[in-house]
Structure 1
Amino acid sequence: MSEEFSVEGGVPEEADLTPGELWNQGGSASLRQTRLGLTFEYVGIAMMLLSVLGGMFIAIARLPPILLLTMPFVMIVGALMIFVGPIICLAVPKESGAKELLVGSVVCQFANLFYSVSELFIPTLIPAPFKIALNYCGIFGLILFILFMKKLALYINRQDLSSKATHVLVFGIFMVVASILMIFLLLAQMIHPLSIVLLPIGAL
C-alpha cells in the first residue's frame, strides 16, 4: 500500500507542493490511517469475490453442499471489512473534498451488511420488496468508494492512481454483470441450493 502514496520521480521544492502533495509526503497519522482503510477495503473486496466465485465453483462442480456453508461466512467477514474500510479512511483531510463520498459509502455498506447478516441468520426479517434495494446498496457503496479514490488521487496529484481507480470501477461493473449472468446460468441448470450461492452477489 505504501508505494501507492509515494510520489514517483524527483521531489519538487516544498514551496511548489500542493496541500495534498504535502500531506502525501508528510507521513502523518491520518495518512497511515487512510492507508490502513484502503487495505481493509481491498482485502474485503477480495473476500467478497472469493465468496461469490467459490460458491459458484462448488455448485457447478457439484462438490459436497456442506462446502457452501463456508462461503456466507467468508462473505460476512468481507462485507464487514468493506464497511470498516471507509470509516477508517475518514481520516483524510477535509480539504480533499472526498469525505462526503466516504460517508455515502459507509451508509450504503452498512445497509448491505445488515441485509447480508439478516439474510443469513433471519431470512424472513426483511420484506421481499426491500431486499432488492438493500441487495444493491453494496454496489453503490463500492462505486462511491472508488469515486473517493479518484478524488483522493487528484488531491495528492497522482493521475496514475486516478486511472487505476477508473480501471477498478470498470472491473467492478464487469464483475457485477458477470455475476448476474452466472445467476441465470445456475438457474437454467437448476443447481441447488441457490440461496447460499447467490447471497454474496449483492455485496459486490
Structure 2
Amino acid sequence: MSDDVNPFASPQTSGIERPEVLWATEQPEALRKVKIGLTLVYASICGILLAVLGGPIVMITLAGPENFVLIGVVLGVVTVLLNLMMIVGQVLCLAVPAESGAKPLINAAVGLQGLAFVCTLLTFALSDGPAAIVVVGISYLANAVSLICFILFLRRVALYIQRPDIAGRAMRALVVGLVSVAVLAVAGILVSITPNPALGLIMLPAMLGMLIGFVMYANTVTYLRKAISV
C-alpha cells in the first residue's frame, strides 16, 4: 500500500528545527540585534580593560604632575562612554526570544547597569561625604550584580542555541570571578584588622584572579557572538 512505511527508505528528519535556526528564520532582526549588542559589549569590555591597565601607565610615563588632572578627566570621560556603550549593547540584547528563558536575566542586567551608570554620574556632582560614599557603594553593588546577571544570560542563550561549551565557559568565568572577589574581600578585612604584610600578599593573586575571570568573561561574550550566525 502507498501509505505503508518503506523500511528501505532513507531516514527522515523529524521536522523539528534547532532553536537557533528557528530564531534566525522567524526573528532575523532580533537575532541581528543580539549579535550587535554582544559586539558592543565586547568592545566596551576591551576598552575598559585597556583604560584600567593602560591609564596608570600613561599617567606615570607620559604626563607630568601638571597634567594629572587633565588625563584623569579624559580617562573618566572615556570610562563613562564605554559604560554607556555597554548599556546600549545590553539593551539590544533585550531582543532575545522569550523561549530562551534569558529575558528576566537581561532585564535585570540592564536595569542594574542603568542604576550603576546614574550613580557614577552622581559621583561627579557630589562632594566627599556620607552621601558620596553611599552612592559609590550602590554603584559598585549594582555593577557586580548586573555582571552576574549578564553572565547567566550568556549561559542561557548558549544553552538555547545548543552550545553547552560556551555555557560552560560562562560558568567558569563566573566562578573564578566570585572566588577571587571573596578572597580579596576576606584578605582586605584581615589586613584592616591585623596589619600584616603577609596577609597583603594574598590580595595579589586574588586581583590576578579577578583579571583572569574578566578576560574569561570577555572571551565568552565573543565566542557567543561568533556562534550566532546571521
TM-score by length of 1: 0.69
Q: How does 1:61-140 map to 2 (within 5 A)?
A: 61=61, 63-64=63-64, 65=68, 66-119=70-123, 121-124=124-127, 126-140=131-145
| Partner Cα distance (1:68, 1:130) in 2 | 20
Q: How does 1:1-204 map to 2 (within 5 A)?
A: 13=13, 15-24=15-24, 28-58=28-58, 61=61, 63-64=63-64, 65=68, 66-119=70-123, 121-124=124-127, 126-170=131-175, 172-173=177-178
Q: Percent identity?
A: 31
Q: Is the 1:47–1:77 contact (alpha carbons within 8 Å) kept by the matching residues of 2?
A: no
Q: Which residue of 1 aligns with 2:226?
A: none
TM-superposed CA distance for 1:92, in Å, is 0.9
| Partner Cα distance (1:155, 1:75) in 2 | 32
Q: Is the 1:40–1:85 contact (alpha carbons within 8 Å) kept by the matching residues of 2?
A: yes
Measured against aligned partners, the alpha-carbon deviations of 1:98-150 in whole angstroms (never above 9, x if no partner) come to: 0100111011101111122222x313394422321222311211111111010
Q: Which residue of 2 aligns with 1:191?
A: none
Q: 5+ residue gaps in structure 1?
A: 1-11, 185-203
Q: 5+ residue gaps in structure 2?
A: 1-11, 192-213, 215-230
**1:103/1:47 Cα in 2 relative to 1: closer, same or farther (>3 Å)?**
same
**1:41/1:59 Cα in 2 relative to 1: closer, same or farther (>3 Å)?**
same
Paired letter, 1:122: A
TM-superposed CA distance for 1:162, in Å, is 1.0
Higher relative contact order (CA 8 A, sep 6+): 1
Q: Which residue of 1 aligns with 2:211?
A: none
**1:94/1:55 Cα in 2 relative to 1: closer, same or farther (>3 Å)?**
same
Describe the SS at the equivalent of 2:127: coil
- The Cα RMSD (Å) is 3.4
**1:59/1:170 Cα in 2 relative to 1: closer, same or farther (>3 Å)?**
farther
Q: How many residues align?
A: 172
Q: Is the 1:51–1:71 contact (alpha carbons within 8 Å) kept by the matching residues of 2?
A: yes
Measured against aligned partners, the alpha-carbon deviations of 1:48-105 in whole angstroms (never above 9, x if no partner) come to: 2222222333456584313333211111011101111221111111111101001110
TM-score by length of 2: 0.62
Q: Is the 1:33–1:88 contact (alpha carbons within 8 Å) kept by the matching residues of 2?
A: yes
TM-superposed CA distance for 1:47, in Å, is 1.8
Describe the SS at the equivalent of 1:15: coil
| Partner Cα distance (1:31, 1:37) in 2 | 10
**Larger radius of gyration between Structure 1 and Structure 2:** 2
